[in-house]
Amino acid sequence: MNQKKFLSGSIRQADYDPVSQQLDVVFENKTVLAYKNVPEWIFQKLSTDPSPRSFWEDNISEEYSKCTPLDRNKSKGSSQQLRELFGD
């Protein structure tokens, strides 16, 4: 899985699974929107665009079908999951 974290703006993270062609977009309020059948070049453009939110609105939000987000806990270790639940 490919992942891009953003330091500012309303989009905080984008996760892309090239096998399933699924793109998950994580917003600052923790909302996750998932899209299926997204080509990898769209993820790459989102990752490098100076305004990811605008790119998402113009090229992703209404262009691709929504789906269930990927399981984020699957790739995390149990200690990471506990930190997220209870803090450091």
pLDDT digits (tens, 9 = 90+) for 3-50: 999 999 999 999 999 999 999 999 999 999 999 999 999 999 999 999
Cα–Cα dist 51/74, whole Å: 29
What predicted TM-score, i.e. pTM, was given to this entire model?
A: 0.80
15 to each of 7, 9, 48, 79, 86, how far by Cα in Å?
Answer: 15, 16, 14, 21, 24
The two structure tokens encoding residue 59: 């090229």
Spatial separation of the C-alpha atoms in residues 63 and 72, rounded to whole Å: 24
Contact by Cβ (8 Å): 75, 30? no
